[in-house]
C-alpha cells in the first residue's frame, strides 16, 4: 500500500509535503500510510511498530498539519510528546524542526534531563506549540509551575514499553492527568504486553489498532551473527579483531554497564580507534557532542549502554556489536535496529558464552529466528557451546520431564565448581585490554 501512494496524496499541508520531499522521501512507510489518515480524522491510535519503521513521521506530520491549518493563539504546548530517553527525544525534536521548517508559526521546545534548568526555563518562557520531553524532567517543570498542559490537543507516548520498563508509569499517568480529557492520544510501542494494554485502556478512547510489523518480519537488511567466546580475554581479542576489518565503517558496541562502556571506550581509543562512550551518567552536553561526532563521522566506534539502543538514527552505522547481551530480549531488537537503516545493509554481531544461552533463547523466540553461529580462524572457542534444542513451547530439554527422561548431566568438577566456560569476568580479575 505504502509504495502505491505518495505523501502529496495524504491531504497534508503542501508546506509539510515540501519539507518531506526535500528530506528525500516520496512514499510513506506502512505505519505512516496507515497512521496519517487516521490521525487526520482525529482517531486515537495504539500502534505496534518496530524501530526504524518511520513512526516519528507517522505522528509528527499530521500533528504539524493540525498546527499549521488550525492556529490557536495562546501559551503552552498543543502537541506533547513523551520519550523514554534523551536521545530519542532529541531525534523527535529534530524531526519536528525538519518537517516543520516551512511553518514559521510552529516552534518546538525539548525538556530533557541533563540540560541546565535556566536554559530550559528561558525556552519555556517564550511561545511554543510543540513540547518534547522525558517524563522525569517534565514532572519537575510541572511541579514548578513553568509548564501548563491545559492546551494539549495531542498526547504522544513514544516507545511506551520502554517508559514502563524504566519505571515511568506513575509519571506518565500524572502528566496525562494534567492534559485535557478530550485530547487525541497516541501510544507507540514495539511490544504489546499486558501493562501496555492496561495503560492504553486508561488513556485512549476507542483507539484504532495498527500492527505495523512484527518482530519476526523485521531487520531483513541485517545479517545477524553469533560468536561464542570462552572468557573475557577471548572476547576482547575477538572484538579487537572485528574492529580491524575495513568493512566496519562505523560501529556501536553495546555493554551491560556504564563503567564497562567507559573502560572499553578508553581501551579501544588506546588501540588507535576513534572511540567514545555514551551512557546515562554523562551530562547532556557531552552526550550531544558524542552523538554529533558520530553523525559527522569523527567517531568510528561508539561504546554504549542501552540508553543508545533507541533514538539514534545514523545511516553510517554498518555494524552493531553486542559485547554483552541485553537483559531484555526486546532491547536486542532495538540495539541491532541501529544498523541496516534507510535501506542499507547492516551486520549485527553478538559475543556470547555458555552462560548466555538462556538470554539467547529468549532473543530467538522473540525474533522467530535462530542467530547463525560464526567462527573466525584463530579465534575459535576452545570450549564447545551448543544451543540446547527446544520443544514447541520453547522449553529446554528436561524441563517438565520426569528425572529418568532427562539427559544425563555432565560430571561435577568439584563442589561448587563452575561450568567449564564460566570464567571470572568482572570484579574478580583485572580487565585485560582488547587484543591482549
Pick from 177, 211, 245: which residue ends a domain?
A: 211
CB atoms within 10 A of CB 271: 16
Q: What are phi and psi of 205, to 5 degrees?
A: -115, 115
User: Comparing C-alpha atoms, which of 78, 76, 62 is closest to residue 13?
Assistant: 62
Pick from 211, 238, 263: which residue ends a domain?
A: 211
Domain of residue 363, residue span: 223-405
Q: Which three cell numbers stand for residue 250?
A: 562505523
For position 314, what pLDDT does the model report? 83
CA dist 304 and 252 (Å) reads 7
Widest CA span in the chain: 76
Per-residue pLDDT of the chain (436 residues; tens, 9 = 90+): 444 789 999 999 999 999 999 988 889 988 999 999 999 999 999 998 766 678 899 999 999 999 999 998 888 999 999 999 888 899 899 999 999 999 988 999 999 887 889 999 999 999 999 999 999 999 999 999 999 999 999 999 998 988 888 888 899 999 999 999 999 999 998 777 788 888 999 999 999 999 875 444 457 789 999 999 999 999 999 999 999 999 999 999 999 999 999 999 999 999 999 999 998 888 878 888 998 899 899 999 999 998 766 667 788 899 999 999 998 887 898 899 889 876 688 999 999 999 999 999 999 988 888 999 999 999 999 987 766 544 434 444 444 443 333 333 333 333 333 333 333 333 333 444 454 4
Count of all residues that appear for the chain in the document: 436
Identify whether 423 is part of a domain.
no
Identify whether 341 is part of a domain.
yes
Indicate if 206 and 234 belong to the same structural domain: no
Q: Which three cell numbers stand for residue 12?
A: 497534508
For position 387, what pLDDT does the model report? 60
The DSSP call for residue 409 is: P
Cα separation values, 330 from 165, 318, 367, 432, Å: 11, 21, 9, 30
Pick from 168, 187, 211: which residue ends a domain?
A: 211
Sequence-ordered strand ranges (E) for 6-78: 45-48
Indicate if 153 and 231 belong to the same structural domain: no
User: Comparing C-alpha atoms, which of 74, 39, 114 is closest to residue 307?
Assistant: 114
Q: How buried is residue 321: exposed, middle or buried, by Cβ count under 10 Å (0-12/13-18/19+)?
A: buried
Percentage helix, strand, coil for the chain under 3-state DSSP, each rounded to 5:
35, 15, 50
Identify whether 238 is part of a domain.
yes
CB 219 within 8 A of CB 337: yes
What's the sign of the alpha-carbon dihedral 305, 311, 312, 315?
A: positive
Sheet strands side by side (includes 208-211): 108-111, 130-133, 79-82, 154-157, 184-189, 45-48, 208-211
Cα separation values, 49 from 31, 152, 363, Å: 7, 24, 18
Identify whether 417 is part of a domain.
no
Indicate if 36 and 16 belong to the same structural domain: yes
CA dist 17 and 99 (Å) reads 8
- The helix (run of H) or strand (run of E) holding residue 367 is helix 357-367
CB 155 within 8 A of CB 179: yes
Relative to beta strand 184-189, strand 301-304 is: unpaired
Identify whether 363 is part of a domain.
yes
Indicate if 119 and 186 belong to the same structural domain: yes
Indicate if 291 and 324 belong to the same structural domain: yes
In this structure, what CATH number is given to the domain that contains residue 254? 3.40.50.300
Helix (H, G, I), strand (E, B) or coil at 381: coil
**Counting runs of H as helices and runs of E as strands, what totals does the chain give?**
14, 14
Indicate if 283 and 395 belong to the same structural domain: yes
Number of domains the chain is built from: 2
Identify whether 432 is part of a domain.
no
For position 131, what pLDDT does the model report? 98
Amino acid at each position: 500500500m505504502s509504495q502505491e501512494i505518495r505523501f502529496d496524496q495524504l491531504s497534508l499541508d503542501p508546506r509539510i509535503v515540501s519539507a518531506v520531499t526535500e528530506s528525500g522521501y516520496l512514499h510513506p512507510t506502512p505505519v505512516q500510510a496507515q497512521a496519517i489518515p487516521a490521525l487526520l480524522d482525529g482517531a486515537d491510535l495504539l500502534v505496534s511498530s518496530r524501530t526504524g519503521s518511520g513512526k516519528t513521521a507517522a505522528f509528527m506530520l499530521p500533528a504539524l498539519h493540525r498546527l499549521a491549518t488550525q492556529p490557536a493563539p495562546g501559551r503552552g504546548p498543543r502537541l506533547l510528546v513523551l520519550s523514554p530517553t534523551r536521545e530519542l527525544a532529541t531525534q523527535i525534536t529534530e524531526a519536528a524542526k525538519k518537517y516543520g521548517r516551512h511553518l514559521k508559526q510552529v516552534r518546538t521546545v525539548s525538556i530533557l534531563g541533563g540540560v541546565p534548568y535556566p536554559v530550559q526555563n528561558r525556552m519555556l518562557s517564550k511561545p511554543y506549540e510543540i513540547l518534547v520531553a522525558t517524563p522525569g524532567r517534565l514532572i519537575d517543570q510541572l511541579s514548578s509551575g513553568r509548564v501548563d498542559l491545559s492546551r494539549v490537543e495531542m498526547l504522544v507516548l513514544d516507545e511506551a514499553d520502554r517508559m514502563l520498563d524504566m519505571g515511568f508509569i506513575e509519571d506518565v499517568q500524572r502528566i496525562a492527568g494534567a492534559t485535557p480529557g478530550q485530547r487525541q492520544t497516541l501510544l507507540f510501542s514495539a511490544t504489546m504486553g499486558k501493562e501496555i494494554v492496561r495503560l492504553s485502556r486508561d488513556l485512549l478512547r476507542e483507539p484504532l489498532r495498527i500492527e505495523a510489523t512484527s518482530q519476526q518480519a523485521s531487520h531483513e537488511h541485517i545479517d545477524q551473527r553469533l560468536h561464542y567466546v570462552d572468557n573475557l580475554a577471548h572476547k576482547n581479542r575477538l572484538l579487537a579483531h572485528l574492529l580491524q576489518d575495513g568493512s566496519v565503517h562505523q560501529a556501536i558496541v553495546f555493554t551491560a554497564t556504564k563503567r564497562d562502556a567507559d573502560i572499553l571506550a578508553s581501551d579501544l581509543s588506546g588501540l588507535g580507534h576513534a572511540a567514545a562512550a555514551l551512557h546515562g551518567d554523562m551530562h547532556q552536553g557531552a552526550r550531544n557532542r558524542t552523538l554529533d561526532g558520530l553523525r559527522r563521522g569523527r567517531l568510528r566506534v561508539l561504546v554504549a549502554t542501552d540508553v543508545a539502543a533507541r533514538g539514534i538514527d545514523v545511516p553510517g552505522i554498518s555494524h552493531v556489536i553486542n559485547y554483552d547481551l541485553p537483559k531484555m530480549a526486546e532491547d536486542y531488537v532495538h540495539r541491532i535496529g541501529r544498523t541496516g537503516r534507510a535501506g542499507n545493509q547492516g551486520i549485527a554481531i553478538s559475543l556470547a558464552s555458555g552462560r548466555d544461552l538462556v538470554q539467547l533463547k529468549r532473543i530467538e523466540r522473540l525474533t522467530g529466528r535462530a542467530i547463525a553461529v560464526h567462527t573466525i580462524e584463530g579465534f575459535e572457542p576452545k570450549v564447545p557451546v551448543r544451543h540446547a534444542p527446544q520443544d514447541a513451547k520453547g522449553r529446554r530439554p528436561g524441563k517438565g520431564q520426569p528425572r529418568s527422561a532427562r539427559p544425563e548431566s555432565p560430571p561435577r568438577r568439584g563442589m561448587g565448581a563452575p561450568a567449564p566456560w564460566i570464567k571470572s569476568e568482572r570484579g574478580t580479575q583485572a580487565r585485560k585490554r582488547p587484543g591482549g
